[in-house]
Amino acid sequence: MPFAIAIDGPSGAGKSTLARIIAKNLQFVYVDTGALYRAIGHSMLSRHIDIEDDAKVAAGLDGLTVSIAYVDDEQRVIVNGVDVSDNIRTPQVSMAASRVSAVPEVRRFLMNTQRDIAKSQSVVMDGRDIGTTILPDADLKIYLTATPEARAQRRLLDLQAKGIASTFEAVLEDMRQRDYNDSHRAAAPLKQAEDAIFIDNS
């Protein structure tokens, strides 16, 4: 039977880094679910769809295909046959992902994709609602968090390494806004599963 590890937590807590290490050591498949929401956010922005209008976002899912491929053990996200992995890490797309992830139709759209991956192979999956909604029966659940300041500093360094200009204050504000959006949305809000191990990664 496949073994599932669910890692949840706020943006910038180090979920992806931890998940990649665990997956490599256990030879599991790493699934970055946030990249899927980023891909949808990017698609909406590129088509000039108003992400503040839930009905328009839901309608924008028509004809959209989102899938995952693995190239040299790295996850790539494919939207309508196009690899968008290198275009979904900007602050603008990050905020768009947070916004569209609050739309119930978007969450339903991606839920089966995520669950199907875990049915066929052992996975380490990170996100906001993996242990609470996507894989509620995961064999191991971890809730990884850190202070907003620590997370903002790490995100700023990531952006600078990619040549994306920003400031600590701007990144911190974006982080706090995304935390609020993720934890207050009606559909599958960010929260710690009751049976998850809590880790402060500050």
For 22-49, the pLDDT digits (tens) are 999 999 999 988 899 999 999 999 999 9
Please report, as a single letter, which amino acid is at residue 90.
T
- Cβ atoms of 146 and 25 within 8 Å: the answer is no
Instruction: Assign 140 a pLDDT band (cuts: 50, 70, 90).
Output: very high
* Three-state secondary-structure class, residue 47: coil
C-alpha distances out from residue 185 to 58, 102, 103, 107, 182, Å: 16, 5, 8, 12, 6
Q: Would you list the DSSP string of 89-144?
A: -SHHHHHHHHHHTTSHHHHHHHHHHHHHHHHHS-EEEEESSIIIII-TT-SEEEEE
Say if residue 124's pLDDT is above 80: yes
C-alpha distances out from residue 163 to 46, 158, 166, Å: 21, 9, 10
- The position carrying tokens 């929401």 is 37
Mean pLDDT to the nearest integer, 145-152: 96
Round the average pLDDT of the chain to a whole number and report it. Answer: 93
Contacts of residue 72, Cβ cutoff 8 Å, sequence gap at least 6: none
The model's pLDDT over 159-183, given as tens digits with 9 standing for 90+, comes to 899 888 899 999 999 999 989 988 9
Say how many C-beta atoms besides its own lie within 10 A of residue 13's C-beta: 24
Instruction: Assign 1 a pLDDT band (cuts: 50, 70, 90).
Output: confident
State CA 117 to chain mean position distance. Answer: 15
Phi, psi of 32 (to 5 degrees): -90, 95
- The closest of 36, 63, 60, 25 to 46, measured between CA atoms, is 60
Say how many C-beta atoms besides its own lie within 10 A of residue 90's C-beta: 16
Say if residue 72's pLDDT is above 90: no
Instruction: Assign 111 a pLDDT band (cuts: 50, 70, 90).
Output: very high
pTM listed for this prediction = 0.81
pLDDT at 41: 96
Instruction: Assign 195 a pLDDT band (cuts: 50, 70, 90).
Output: very high
- Cβ atoms of 130 and 16 within 8 Å: the answer is no
Say how many C-beta atoms besides its own lie within 10 A of residue 192's C-beta: 17
